[in-house]
């Protein structure tokens, strides 16, 4: 199934994002958790692509397993980092051979040790160029792109960030998946702003359940997502109690998802962090 088909029937679609583990033991743990998650019938499972293609083979293998063993649509992430145009075309050919027909097209973050992203000689500078490349060589594939309800960290303004997103959409994207957020007002305002600039494809909210306060603080500091004061206070009060953090995080995510579903979102994309417990509780609460 292509991404354009996932959202074409206007049904509420859930999706899951994983990353390739670094060890065989990690593979086994992820396989167990993912087997539980696919029981909730996600429309697709996406797999991230390490910086500079560091997980290239692992990403492709996991996408093959998702489709062949777990029988769910796989979406492979692809970035511009460290690859020439020709190398990206080769990666598309590899994905084609693996039976993958959907790509999450991202510029990617600057490699470790670099302050800003710089394209390699012969490479691409922006995600919209990657979308154009995919459309040129695989015109019938599904393409997802990233959106930032609270602005990409490198964008000079929200208006400029929306212009960048519009370029990706105009290049041929089928759906926008947002960066994680913890206040629904951020998403709803972003959705309205997207519509105002002529973006009409689905804007899918990305939700990351909080299971460890310290970890989520590190993640939000890197991606620039804000954190509601009342939620931060509740979590800080139980910072030495992992189970309490988990319960507060799941409770908050359930409330977020219920409100978003009531607001008519096309679906919800869960950043599962390769675990299933939190997402399962949320999906059960949503009746999925």
C-alpha 190/C-alpha 170 separation (Å) is 18
How many angstroms separate the Cα of 137 from the Cα of each of 78, 108, 133?
14, 20, 6
Give the number of other CB atoms < 10 A from CB of residue 278.
Answer: 21
Give the domain extent around 96.
3-285
| pTM of the shown model | 0.94
Neighbours of 221 (CB within 10 A): 10
pLDDT of residue 118: 77
pLDDT per residue as tens digits for the range 179-193: 999 999 999 999 999
Distances from the Cα of 94 to the Cα of 1, 44, 98, 141, 189, angstroms:
18, 19, 6, 14, 39
Count of the separate structural domains present in the chain: 1
Taking the C-alpha atoms of residue 281 and residue 30, their distance in angstroms, rounded to an integer, is: 17
pLDDT digits (tens, 9 = 90+) for 130-168: 999 999 999 999 999 999 999 998 999 999 999 999 999
pLDDT for position 110:
64
Q: Alpha-carbon distance 234 to 251, whole Å?
A: 12
**What DSSP letter does each residue of 55-106 carry, written as one string?**
THHHHHHHHHHHHHTS--EEEEEEE-TT-BHHHHHHHHHHHHHTT--EEEEE
> pLDDT digit string (tens) for 236-249?
999 999 999 999 99
Phi, psi of 275 (to 5 degrees): -125, 160
Q: Give the tokens for residue 232.
A: 């931060």
Catalytic residue among 17, 129, 132, 150: 17
Q: Which helix (H) or strand (E) holds 254?
A: helix 242-262
Instruction: Provide the pLDDT for residue 123.
Output: 87
Identify the pLDDT of residue 268. 98
CB-based contact 162:195 (threshold 8 Å): no
pLDDT at 116: 74
The angle formed by the CA atoms of residues 212, 29 and 26, to the nearest 5 degrees, is 85
Q: Could you say which residues of the chain have pLDDT below 50?
A: none
Dihedral in degrees, nearest 10, Cα atoms 283, 253, 257, 3: -70
CATH number of the domain residue 110 falls in = 3.20.20.220
pLDDT attached to residue 115: 67
SS3 18: strand
- Active-site annotation holds for 150: no
């Amino acid at each position: 199934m292509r991404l354009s088909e996932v959202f074409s029937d206007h049904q509420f679609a859930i999706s899951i994002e994983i990353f390739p583990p670094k060890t065989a033991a990690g593979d086994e743990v992820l396989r167990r958790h993912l087997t539980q998650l696919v029981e909730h019938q996600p429309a697709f499972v996406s797999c991230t692509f390490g910086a500079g293609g560091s997980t290239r083979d692992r990403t492709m293998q996991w996408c093959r397993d998702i489709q062949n063993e777990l029988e769910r649509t796989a979406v492979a992430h692809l970035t511009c980092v460290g690859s020439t145009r020709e190398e990206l075309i080769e990666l598309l050919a590899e994905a084609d051979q693996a039976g993958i027909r959907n790509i999450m097209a991202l510029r990617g973050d600057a490699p470790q040790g670099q302050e800003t992203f710089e394209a390699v000689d012969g490479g691409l500078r922006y995600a919209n160029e990657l979308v154009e490349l995919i459309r040129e060589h695989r015109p019938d594939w599904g393409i997802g792109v990233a959106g930032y309800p609270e602005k990409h960290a490198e964008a000079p303004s929200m208006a400029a960030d929306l212009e960048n997103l519009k370029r990706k959409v105009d290049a041929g994207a089928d759906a926008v998946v947002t960066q994680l957020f913890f206040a629904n007002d951020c998403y709803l305002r972003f959705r309205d702003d997207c519509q105002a600039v002529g973006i009409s494809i689905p804007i899918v909210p990305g939700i990351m359940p909080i299971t460890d306060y310290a970890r989520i603080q590190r993640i939000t500091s890197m991606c620039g997502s804000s954190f509601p004061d009342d939620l931060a206070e509740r979590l800080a009060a139980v910072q030495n109690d992992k189970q309490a953090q988990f319960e507060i995080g799941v409770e908050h995510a359930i409330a977020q998802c219920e409100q978003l579903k009531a607001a008519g979102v096309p679906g919800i994309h869960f950043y599962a962090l390769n675990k299933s417990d939190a997402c399962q509780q949320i999906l059960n609460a949503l009746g999925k």
